[in-house]
Chain A
Amino acid sequence: MDIKDIIKPENLVYQKTPLMTDKPLSYCPGCGHGTAHRILMEVIEEMGIQSETIGVAPVGCSVLAYDFMNVDMVGASHGRAPAVATGIKRCWPEKFVYTYQGDGDLAAIGTAETIHACNRGENITIIFINNGIYGMTGGQMAPTTLKGMKTSTSPYGRDIETMGNPLKMTELVAQLPGTCYVTRQSVHSPRNVRRAKKAIRTAFESQKGKKGTSLVEIVSNCNSGWKLEPVAANDWMVENMFPFFPLGDIKVDGKLVNNQ
């Protein structure tokens, strides 16, 4: 069969959503940020809420998210996205409001904002991209950096005694009464991308139902910071990140899953 007979508009099964702009992404090859952006925009497209949605971009590699996501967006200073989102949502309770934050942003400088927004049960959705490192600034150690993991500021590996333990923010906020839906996903394989997209949909649906804070963590790669090629970085992530940051739902409909 000739390829020209297949490549026809009526046979189209997948194309980039128009809610992603045509600007080339600023991310390194293979970086999960791009995939996470796209499935988030696909959910907003499928829910038909493009003009009702306001995103809050963080500081980190995704600082330019507003160039790529075709929805109204505000940039917050480092770590403050949940506070900014709180203000927006309280002014416009009928709008869909989300933050998009890295682990340095959400779990280091923004720990207080994250915890208190979740504890107040702000009716917002937090998308948390955890790559265990400060990607943008050159691969420094983050609170999420694994034990023994090498970064530019822990060149001999993270030493727990002097550098503390890696922080599981997602399990932590799941304990707070304000959170409704809390889950951990990944976007390195087709199956995981589809699951992560479903999770983002659930988070936005729970915001629609005014059920409280929803948080979707996406364990992601940082090829540049980890100093690995993209496919090798994904393999490393499966082998090393997932045992410590296990994938799956942590809290559903306000109830903790499996005695978390």
Chain B
Amino acid sequence: MKGAIVVDIEKCKGCEVCRVACPNDVIAMAHEVNHKGYHYAFQEHQEDCVGCANCAVVCPDGVITVYKIKLSD
């Protein structure tokens, strides 16, 4: 499985709840801030994302969209 997330950066509140919920330490907080002044979440290690959607399920602001693809071997 390979996954990827898209964070609605301007709506992210930088709470880090997604970061701790990710089993693969994919998510980190950006050094930059959005217009509200929050350090938004981003995929630091996208290559490790498996598309489990844990991050999106716990995001209080519902700003994460998740994609997943099954790799044929």
Contact = CB atoms under 8 A, between A and B. Distances in A.
Interface of A: 1, 3, 5-8, 11-17, 20, 24-25, 27-35, 38, 187-190, 193-194, 229-231, 234
A13 B63 contact: no
Given A13-B66, A38-B62, A193-B58, A30 B16 contact: yes
Contacts of A5: 69
A17 B13 CA distance: 19
Contact of A34 (B38, B51, B60): B60
A189 B60 CA distance: 11
A34 B71 CA distance: 34
Given A6-B3, A12-B67, A230 B56 contact: no
B16 to A, nearest CB: 5
Contacts of B11: 24
A30 B15 contact: yes
B12 to A, nearest CB: 9
Contact of B68 (A13, A30, A190): A13
Contacts of B16: 30, 229-231
Interface string B24-66: 0000000000000010000000100001111011111111111
Contacts of B3: 6, 13
Chain B residues touching A, range? 20 to 34
B65 A25 contact: no
Nearest first, the 10 closest Cβ-Cβ pairs linking A and B are A30-B15, A34-B60, A29-B13, A29-B15, A190-B54, A16-B62, A14-B66, A230-B15, A14-B53, A6-B4
26 contacts: A3-B46, A6-B2, A6-B3, A6-B4, A6-B51, A11-B68, A11-B69, A12-B65, A13-B3, A13-B66, A14-B57, A14-B64, A16-B63, A27-B60, A29-B13, A30-B13, A30-B16, A30-B17, A30-B60, A31-B60, A38-B62, A190-B21, A190-B57, A190-B58, A230-B17, A231-B17
Given A1-B2, A13-B51, 4 more contacts: A6-B68, A7-B67, A14-B65, A24-B11
B38 A11 contact: no
